[in-house]
Amino acid sequence: MPPVAPQAKPDCPGFARPAALPPLKLDPRLISDPALGPVAAKLAAGQRLELADGLALMNSRDLLGLGSLAHAARLAKNGRRAFYVVNRHINYSNVCSNQCAFCAFWRQEGDAGAYLLSPAQAAELAAQEPGLPISELHIVGSCHPQVPLSYYLELLSALSQARPQAALKAFTPVEIDHLAHKSGLSPAQVLDLLQAAGLGAMPGGGAEVFSPRVRARLCPEKTSGSRWLAISGLAHARGIPTNATMLYGHIETPAERVEHLLALREQQDKSHGFSAFIPLAYHPHNTKLGGASHTSGLDDLRVIASARLLLDNFDHIKAYWVMLGPKLAQVALNFGADDLDGTIVEERITHEAGATTAKGLTEEALRSMISTAGFRPVRRDSFYNSLEQQ
């Protein structure tokens, strides 16, 4: 693979460095795991956490201790605000040459259920329910072996015509890399073309776990961790905010989780453009990797809390209700999360892997989840601007 050339435009807007965590006010009575003591001391002194601290967090069973540390960090970053977005997911295709072992969504060309939406069909979906004040289209598909770059440009312009008020949050770094590979352009050139066609932000999928050991088992065909980070950096240099994710709960070790989070933190130190971190709980059904169990409530909350504390240069941690279930996502607002994602309308990828949650939630339901948990609901756009009536 050619290296990802770091060619930021000289006149790009870039992003300001997000505020670091201030010294935290902690209640020592909430912490019962002695291993969390040194972590708490660092947080109280306003020091940055390191690998050993991350391991203490990621191995702890002290749910209330983890929660109390993360909640203090959350209050420092976001007060009692909890964000959501009125959005819609559009999965333009499931035909994928990567065929990752953890994924139940992909099909081969010609398989039953394989599909590719035309730009017009995607636009038709986006235009459904015109009364719904959708401010974001979340557009993720696959690494389709046949579709040319022109399709993606047409898709973006069709969607922006169908929903001119909605930001187009489209294509993970993995899809960008695939397009570059297919078209013979560099990832930077692909991003420039997509941005000109209306790309406003990027989702954070495809990060999985950066560890080469894990990727060799889970997704050997997929873009490497270092390329994923570099392409995110290229987007940031162009003023395109992106998200970051981690798929957890399969074969990864606690150390591999912490290393993943620290790699994200290092990239964010350089390029500042990650809006939110979104942990994704592995769903085993219908995948090649398989497995019997879903993640536990403790593990879900531990990952959220650890991420809030390690990612001191991320403004937002998202509790993605589709994967966690609305109940646990609501509880997660007290364990470091400040965002519930959104209405989604029609989730497909996790549901192929056995998610039993609804495929969408109403705005009313999201607001009620937030306020009954004791937080202030803030409807946001893709860039975390408040859309609340003042």
Partner 1 sequence: MTPPAPAPRDPLSEALAAAEEGQRLSPTQALALLGSAELLDLGRLAHGARLRHNPEPVVTYAVDRNINFTNVCTAGCRFCAFFRPPGHEEGYVLERAELARKIQETLDLGGTQILIQGGLHPEIGVEAICDTFRFIKENFPIHIHGLSPPEVVHMARLDGLSLAEALDRLMAAGLGSIPGGGAEILSERVRGLVAPGKCTADEWLQVMRLAHGKGLMTTATMMFGSVETPAERIEHLTRLRGLQDESLAKGRGRFTAFIPWSFQPDHTALAHTPPATAVDYLRMLAVSRLFLDNFAHLQASWVTQGAKIAQVALTFGADDLGSTMIEENVVAAAGVSFRLPREELVRLAEDMGFVAQQRDTFYRPVAGQA
Positions that interact with partner 1 (CB under 8 A): 29-30, 61, 63-64, 67-68, 71, 293-294, 296-301, 324-328, 330-331, 333-334, 365, 368-369, 372-374
| Residue 325, Ramachandran bin (φ over 0: left; ψ between -120 and 50: alpha; else beta) | left
Taking the CA atoms of residue 324, residue 349, residue 129 and residue 330 in that order, the dihedral angle to the nearest 10 degrees is 0
Alpha carbons 53 and 38: distance in angstroms, whole number:
8
Closest CA to 221 of 102, 366, 368: 102
Q: What Cα–Cα distance (Å) separates residue 87 from each residue in 67, 320, 336?
A: 29, 13, 23
Toward partner 1, which CB reaches closer, 63 or 76? 63
Angle in degrees, CA 252, 171, 255, rounded to 5: 15
Query: Can you say how many angstroms the Cα of residue 182 is from the centroid of all Cα atoms in its chain?
Result: 25
Toward partner 1, which CB reaches closer, 61 or 213? 61
Measured from the CB of residue 43, what is the shortest distance to partner 1 in angstroms? 15
Measured from the CB of residue 68, what is the shortest distance to partner 1 in angstroms? 5
Measured from the CB of residue 372, what is the shortest distance to partner 1 in angstroms? 5
Residue 67 contacts residue 84 (beta carbons within 8 Å)? no
Residue 334: count other Cβ atoms within 10 Å of its Cβ: 18
Measured from the CB of residue 382, what is the shortest distance to partner 1 in angstroms? 27
Toward partner 1, which CB reaches closer, 240 or 366? 366
DSSP 8-state class, residue 116: B
Largest CA distance in the chain: 60
Toward partner 1, which CB reaches closer, 72 or 199? 72
Toward partner 1, which CB reaches closer, 181 or 285? 285
Q: What Cα–Cα distance (Å) separates residue 9 from each residue in 40, 51, 62, 172, 368?
A: 41, 34, 46, 20, 43
Measured from the CB of residue 293, what is the shortest distance to partner 1 in angstroms? 7
Which two three-digit tokens encode residue 60? 């702890």
Query: Can you say how many angstroms the Cα of residue 320 is from the centroid of all Cα atoms in its chain?
Result: 8
Measured from the CB of residue 32, what is the shortest distance to partner 1 in angstroms? 9
Toward partner 1, which CB reaches closer, 127 or 373? 373
Toward partner 1, which CB reaches closer, 191 or 378? 378
Measured from the CB of residue 88, what is the shortest distance to partner 1 in angstroms? 23
